[in-house]
Structure 1
Amino acid sequence: MVQIGNIHLGKAETAERPKLDAGEAFILWDLLLSRYDIIQKTQIYQNFAHDPDLKALLAQGLAGVLEKQVNVLEKEMNTFNLSLPSRPPKSMRLPDVSAIIEDEFMFRDVFFGMQGFLDYHARTIRSFTTNDKLRAQLINFAVDELHLFDLMVKFGKLKGWLRVPPFVL
């Protein structure tokens, strides 16, 4: 037992067990599986990319956002004793067939994927009504994704890969 002044704090068994409903459990599993797929695709694109800036941006997305989110999601899945989806290999090394896929195509595929995932974040956040801690974590994921999306928009404009619709005068 821990004592702070006149306050006595009980052992951990007196703490309330975290709650998670079935829908939230599925969303955690689906988010983790999506991250695994995105990591694998990003690793493939890193192998195909010619542009060093694009390679750096993909590496930043992997290490700065995706891998961190996977670690958090795996930890939460373990906290609730949920089965983890099969994880892809840690890295992807492919033969040099980089002439098959152009850098602009890879950028646009990642960009459109991020746009879709921003919508998915909003839908999943509003579904987490039981577990406040996980809802807050998903909000943090969405904020990280928004910052990365902003970087992608600026990068796409700089490279001329972000197709801007014509202006009306």
Structure 2
Amino acid sequence: MSLITGVFPGLQEQPPLHAGERFLIWDHLLKAKGCQAKYQLLGNHADDAELADYLADIAENMVKKEVSSLEAFLLENGVEPPPASPANPKAARSDIPAGARFSDQEIAMCVYHDLAGALAQTSLLISVAVREDVGKIFLAHHQEIAKYGGTLLKLMKKKGWLVEPPR
């Protein structure tokens, strides 16, 4: 049984990925792997406990799962996944010089920007997908990204980190 028919029972074997699907999935995975390392690094800078917990949660429960599933999907479809970014060592915030530290607001805005880009890319993938399994995979990723974006938006409002455009 393939990953495709195991995850989505009732789907027939699929044709090969078309060039757009292949590239966009590969590119999305490359960005997700970069976010794994980035969120670990940003976690070293976080002063706010809720933000640090959010970074650990998104890295472990969203990004890591997405990376794992997309790597397996690409391999099953004969596409070599992109390389991973090297892991960063854990560091105490106090070990980072004051002038080199990201503020909590900067961290939150960086992650929020990543999530906005990921929502746009998953929407694009859904719209160009010819294979139903690709559309379903990225619809699920899109929903997960939106959930984490909503959580971050609430945290940013609560902490006063959200910079709103002029009214």
Per the shorter chain, which TM-score range?
A: 0.7 to 0.9
Going from structure 1 to structure 2, the CA distance change for 1:97 and 1:137 (only over 3 Å counts) comes to same
Matched positions, count: 152
Give the unaligned 5+ runs of structure 2.
1-11
CA contact (8 A) 1:29 1:84 kept: yes
- Superposed CA RMSD in Å reads 1.8
Partner of 2:161: 161
Partner of 2:37: 40
Higher helix fraction (1 or 2): 2
Partner of 1:27: 24
Partner of 2:135: 135
CA contact (8 A) 2:25 2:125 kept: no
CA contact (8 A) 2:28 2:121 kept: no
Partner of 1:104: 105
Letter aligned with residue 55 of structure 2: L
Instruction: Show the 5 A alignment for 1:1-169.
Output: 16=13, 18-94=15-91, 96-97=95-96, 99=98, 100-129=101-130, 131-167=131-167
Letter aligned with residue 125 of structure 2: T
Going from structure 1 to structure 2, the CA distance change for 1:98 and 1:51 (only over 3 Å counts) comes to farther
Going from structure 1 to structure 2, the CA distance change for 1:98 and 1:126 (only over 3 Å counts) comes to farther
Larger Rg: 1
Question: Cα deviation per residue 1:61-109 (whole Å; 9 max; x = unaligned)?
Answer: 1111100100110110110121121112345335721632111111111
Going from structure 1 to structure 2, the CA distance change for 1:125 and 1:98 (only over 3 Å counts) comes to farther
Determine the C-alpha separation between the residues in 1 that align with 2:121 and 2:105: 24
The percentage of counterpart residues that share the same residue type is 26
CA contact (8 A) 1:107 1:161 kept: yes
Give the unaligned 5+ runs of structure 1.
1-14
Normalising by structure 1, we get a TM-score of 0.82
